[in-house]
Amino acid sequence: MSKTAASSETPEGGAAAGIPVRQLGQAAREVWYRSPLYSLSLGGRPPAAFLAVAPDPWPGDAARAEALLSGRLAVAGRTANLAPDPWHRPGADPLWLAGLHAFDWLRDLRDHGGTDGARLALRGVEDWIAANRSWSAIAWRDDVLAARVVNWVRHYDFLAAEAPSDFTARFVDSLARQRRHLERRLGQAANGAHGLALLKAAIVLDAAFVRGDQNRERRLARTTTRLAAALPRIVLPDGTVADRNPQAQLAALRDLIDIRAVLVSAERPAPAALQDAIDRAAPMLRFLRHGDGGLALFNGADAGDPGAIDLVLARSGNGARAPADAPHGSFVRLAAGPALVLIDAGAPPGKGLDLETHAGTLSVEFSVGAERVFGNCGAYAGLSDDWRYMMRYTAAHATAIIADTNSSELIQGGGLEYPASNVHATRAEQDGATWLEASHDGYRSLFGVTHKRRLWLAADGADLRGEDMLVGSDGKPVKPAASGRKFAIRFHLHPDVKASLAQSGASALLRLPSGQGWKVRASGATMTLAESVWLGDGQRVRRTAQIALVGGLGPDGAKVKWAFTKVEG
């Protein structure tokens, strides 16, 4: 067994890695999808009727609409011209192309584009139909296709207002072709938020095609039954989405709300499991938010838009407070006074759900009121494979790392091998203060080491203390090869936090934007202040600092104590 070495430096080049079996399987499928025979297989008798179900309720963006009307599409911080032929442009940013093909921008034109926006939207759909009859990697990618067909169906009235008489036939025929491909992909989909998005798309299409057709009535019933069977695997009993990613939690809750609205609009019964999933997922989304309204940066999530998160929660119809614990999702929340500590205290999700998962087991995020103090570096959604890969390193998380080695082996194209396992966590309260004891054995095979982490948050939230122990697994000494290896315990500061070392490096002083001060102390390791990065919005790299507690493993491992204490006055 081996685990990829992790550097905390800015990436200069990607690490070489073998091609996993799952990627080889995907490559083989793509050869088939590109063939003329496969394109022929997508044909068939079009639906006899079409019903525009549940118009899209989510708000558009005025700035994006203005850019579109001037011939430019802005997606995830990237802006490019729509002309000429944007659909298969060589060298285009894949993230920009995915946003173009997903058609989320229809709502921007609908809300802020007026008549010109309606004409541009119609032209975009008609151009797509003409240019994308055959499969291509981004245009027909699962998540992109799922978003596109939902956007088309739910914006039909907007599109048809400026459409010629023969538009609906071409529109429905294209949707039917995409539905046939979607049916074949449903069996390949994972159980998490990705699989839910595909099921949502299938339900939207089946509901749109159902009127007056008994065969399609039965198909909608089957798809709804399929959803009900899948929901317990997608939304765990405590409400956590199986991906263990706060951003996937948000996306899944929004998809559940949309499915409910579509079934109501189509006057079809919703399975009881659907509302139950909404009622479990909404409080858990609250659980995974910091005081600034954004999400914790675990397993590929970025902070998100607090206003958009508020809207999703409001439309869930569930006002329940965040639960105290997440025993199935294995996140832990310690809250006292204005302070909040969120901990990833669970094993990574299984194969198929781990494509975005980070090697950040036992990582901690700490905020005070609406101000983030320290946490993980975040995730990168841009073109650079190097940055996306580096953000998954253990070194990019507020946890312990040994010999610059990840606690779970990362596959560069996505997913994990040899993930950290045997992750345990116990939470307790006493006199208003909260304790957590947690451990994982991700370093057992390489170094014979178990990482044990203890946290204590004072009742007033003004004192957070921790103890990290790197000890021999199963009561044995650490492996001889591990003795003398360097370890580091990292705290990546938010970019708005100012830090300076004090007392000749024995402590550090932090100043939050509000002016509030915190003192950092540690024993058992040398405190350093180093450069770091923060990608909380998923799009841009912001320079920041990290406090790193650095030392070497002895025959008995290492024990490091640390504290973040509010400075009065």
Q: What is the pLDDT along the chain (569 residues), one digit of tens a residue?
A: 346 555 433 333 333 344 556 666 778 889 999 999 999 999 998 888 898 899 999 999 999 999 999 999 998 778 999 998 899 998 888 889 999 999 999 999 999 999 999 999 999 999 999 999 999 999 999 999 999 999 999 999 999 998 999 999 999 999 999 999 999 999 776 689 999 999 999 999 999 998 777 888 999 999 999 999 999 999 999 999 999 999 999 999 999 999 999 999 999 999 999 999 999 999 999 999 999 999 999 999 999 999 999 999 999 999 999 998 999 999 999 999 999 999 999 999 998 899 899 999 999 999 999 999 999 999 987 767 788 899 999 999 999 999 999 999 999 888 999 999 899 999 999 999 999 999 999 999 999 999 999 999 999 999 999 999 999 998 888 998 888 999 999 999 999 999 999 988 889 999 999 999 999 999 999 999 999 999 998 778 999 999 999 999 999 999 999 999 999 86
Tokens 């046939």 belong to 180
Distance between CA atoms of residues 569 and 566, nearest Å: 9
Residue among 334, 415, 400, 345 at smallest CA distance from 367: 334
Give the C-alpha separation, 297 to 493, whole Å.
Answer: 13
Compute φ and ψ for 117, nearest 5 degrees: -65, -40
CA separation, residue 250 to residues 104, 256, 303, 313 (Å): 16, 10, 11, 9
CB of 243 within 8 A of CB of 284?
Answer: no
Mapped onto helix, strand or coil, the DSSP state of residue 39 is helix
Q: 386: burial class by Cβ within 10 Å (0-12, 13-18, 19+)?
A: middle
How far apart are alpha carbons 57 and 187 in whole angstroms? Answer: 29
Distances (CA, A) of 455 to 362, 363, 431, 464: 11, 11, 15, 7
Residues in contact with 350: Cβ distance below 8 Å, sequence separation at least 6, in sequence order: none
Q: How far apart are CA 566 and CA 553, in angstroms?
A: 31
* Residues 268, 351: Cα–Cα separation, whole Å: 34
